[in-house]
Structure 1
Amino acid sequence: MNYLDLFLGVALLVSYVLLFYNHHLTGRKALLYYSLAWLSLAVPVFSSDRGVYIVGLAFFSAFLWAGNVEAIDELTLNNETARSLLYLSILPVLIVFLFYPEHETSAYALLGLWIVLSALLLGFYGGRTLLPMSALQAFLGVVVALSGLIPFFRLRIIPAFLGVVLAFESVRTFLRTSFVGDFSIGSIKDVGLDEKPGLVLVPSAPEDVLSSALVFSRSPRNAPNWFWITTVHDERAISPTNLPKILDMAVKFMREAGEAGKKPIIVIDGLDYLVLENGFPSVLKFLSALRDYALVHGATVFIVGSDDFLSERERKLLRSIVGEGNA
């Protein structure tokens, strides 16, 4: 083993530790699968045995698929579909079992194609935040597929290097989209809301609701559970394009409030700004997932503002998941 192999192996192990620790802090299942993927890719780097390498690559492909499925599930809350797709993660291991070593070229080609398929799944359903990860995964899949045909790509250093780049992009992405902190659950008061769980479009939200809710607003305020939607860097600011983090925070608030016996209330002020920054399809998908989580946890989410800026078609799509009311 040379120093470069050692460096890449250690880098992959560091990625495993960072992702697993972030899973411990946030409870996101996708991070658990991703951490196991990098561990599976790191172990073969320390071995010169080709059999160990391709088995590690198979487990990497399996856990990568599972991580992508869980990452998408966090955005869509389609547990039945996610559970069905997770069963497919065993296929890369079966590929190696059936094709290696007699058909080594075919085994590498199929593993590479599986990684590309995983990347396409993530890119198509994961939203723009996960697109860089998707692109790197697809590139890695092409390299793995070619390694069975072109001797140059059989050098393990190439997929290992790409794996390190992808690992740190994964760490960066999930640290950016995960909320690690505490909410002020003690400040939540019973405001006597009679709104049903789900999403409600309202012209404004009164102060008693704002003081007892998790608020995402275009206006900054020094108040508990209040976050400023802006591109400005601030301790309590959140980027308008970081919809996965807003969803992650909202779901955690719902869970913590519910565990404390409080009714979870969430206020999102700035629908027009979110649509401007993300596009209507992305915001609709985000609100649909948020609505589903609200129904599961008995939470009420107030969308403050008007939908007059939308087209008639977009307004109908929005009204199909958002009710109307007066806070």
Structure 2
Amino acid sequence: MIEHKLTAGHIGRVRMNTTLLMVGQTLSLLAKFAVSAVLLTVHIRSQRKSALIWAIAWLVAAFSIVADALGILQLTALTEAAFSSLLFLGSLVFLSEELGKSVKYCVLWAAPPLISAIYGVFLGNDWNSVVGIPYGVSAFFIVLSGALIITPIDSKFKSAKLAALSLGILGVHKMDYPFLRGVKWFAPIGFTLGAALTVITAYFMSRMVLSREFINLKGTVRINVDPGIELVSSNAYRRVKDDLKGYPVLAFIRELTPPKEWKAYFLTSLPGKDTITPTNLPRILELSGRYLREAGMQGITGVVVIDGIEYLVIHNGITAVTKFLGTLRDLVILQDGRLIVVVDETAMERKDYRIIKRVLIGE
């Protein structure tokens, strides 16, 4: 009689664990598809490469659930490793985007999880070598992904902090799986916790990429700005700053007193926060394009200010600078934005000033 009761209880626990497993897998699958769709949408709108890489990473993570449900260990290890590598790669690209400096050999830095999984699949002869070790390496790189996200961000970027923290906790939890998988009483708890952390992480990553900080559009719109191209002197620039206080302007400047609502980058050869080297003209174009697209989506006129043309000419030459200004002008016009270039006619050769004026406003 006692034996019968134990057997019935055991069957009940198995059914309960199976139900928890199915519910957890379903929630995780939906969360991963949802965050992937959000990230892809953000990439299409903002053209941030990090968003695209993260979108692919979460899509691959969704397939890891399918592989796990089918009991294909090798595919589970490979998809989990691919998710970790892509997540880490996206974080490296995010770091590069935020700092304005290219991180070399990103793909190589992100490769270890996938390499360990490939070795495990082809050379492993038990669960630990096929899945356990690659799973642990992948989990560690998820933790590192969170660390990379939090490294360059501003203290006000709270949604990124929460996304980084949730990634770190998720990675730490995944690292205990190879050790605790054999503990029967912990299995339902561990899987439920993992599913919950996946949903939470997906939510906070969605909040992060949908935030204004992610696309560098800040400030409160208080005035209407007409599209166009404007060439102003340094004296007139003081009026511009007063007129555009409270407006989410994107500025590349040589002076250190922009309105606090502006997103300003200081042009300098010295490293520092929110700085851009004067020779990195493609980076200025990249940031301007992203900002103008997002401003258009929000129904406002994007305003780009360039102050320090003489400084750019010194480092790049007049030919490179005029090509850059011509491309930036076209970008602004196509996005119905406004470009304000600050330059004093007396601060450079007259012919150079005329070339710049002709390129920008056709006179």
Tell me the TM-score normalized by structure 1. 0.60
1:217-238 deviations in Å (ceiling 9; x for gaps): 3x4xxxxxx33xxxxxxxxxxx
How far apart are the structure 2 equivalents of 1:98 and 1:16?
28
Secondary structure of the residue aligned to 2:198 is: helix
| 1:158 shift after superposition | 3.9
Quickly say closer, same or farther: Cα 1:179–1:106, change in 2 above 3 A.
closer
How far apart are the structure 2 equivalents of 1:156 and 1:56?
18
Q: Could you tell me which residue of structure 1 aligns to residue 47 of structure 2?
A: 27
Bigger radius of gyration among the two: 2
1:182-224 deviations in Å (ceiling 9; x for gaps): x99962333244x7xxxxxx997124x777xxx4x3x4xxxxx
Larger displacement relative to structure 2 (141-150 or 40-49): 40-49
Quickly say closer, same or farther: Cα 1:110–1:192, change in 2 above 3 A.
same
How far apart are the structure 2 equivalents of 1:38 and 1:250?
31
Aligned partners of 1:63 and 1:89 also within 8 Å: yes
| 1:175 shift after superposition | 0.5
RMSD between aligned alpha carbons? 4.1
Q: Could you tell me which residue of structure 2 aligns to residue 191 of structure 1?
A: 231
The answer on 1:142 being equivalent to 2:172 is: yes
Tell me the TM-score normalized by structure 2. 0.55
How far apart are the structure 2 equivalents of 1:295 and 1:46?
40
| 1:295 shift after superposition | 7.5
How far apart are the structure 2 equivalents of 1:64 and 1:5?
20
Amino acid at match of 1:26: S
Aligned partners of 1:30 and 1:67 also within 8 Å: yes
| 1:122 shift after superposition | 2.5
How far apart are the structure 2 equivalents of 1:96 and 1:42?
17
Q: Could you tell me which residue of structure 2 aligns to residue 73 of structure 1?
A: 96
How far apart are the structure 2 equivalents of 1:142 and 1:86?
23
1:144-166 deviations in Å (ceiling 9; x for gaps): 21111112469655434322211
Quickly say closer, same or farther: Cα 1:120–1:3, change in 2 above 3 A.
closer
Quickly say closer, same or farther: Cα 1:67–1:93, change in 2 above 3 A.
same
More contact order relative to length (CA 8 Å, sep ≥ 6): 1
The answer on 1:91 being equivalent to 2:117 is: no
Q: Could you tell me which residue of structure 1 aligns to residue 201 of structure 2?
A: 166
Quickly say closer, same or farther: Cα 1:180–1:145, change in 2 above 3 A.
closer
Match of 1:17 among 14, 17, 37: 37
Percent of aligned positions that are identical? 14
Q: Could you tell me which residue of structure 2 aligns to residue 244 of structure 1?
A: none
| 1:30 shift after superposition | 0.8
5 Å-filtered alignment, 1:100-249, equals 100=121, 101-102=124-125, 103=129, 104-128=131-155, 129=157, 130-151=160-181, 152=186, 157-176=192-211, 177-179=213-215, 187-193=227-233, 205-207=238-240, 215=244, 217=245, 219=246, 226-227=247-248
Quickly say closer, same or farther: Cα 1:153–1:126, change in 2 above 3 A.
farther
Quickly say closer, same or farther: Cα 1:55–1:93, change in 2 above 3 A.
same
| 1:107 shift after superposition | 2.0
How far apart are the structure 2 equivalents of 1:161 and 1:52?
23
How far apart are the structure 2 equivalents of 1:4 and 1:160?
5
Structure 1: unaligned runs, 5 residues or longer: 196-201, 220-225, 228-248, 255-266, 275-283, 304-324
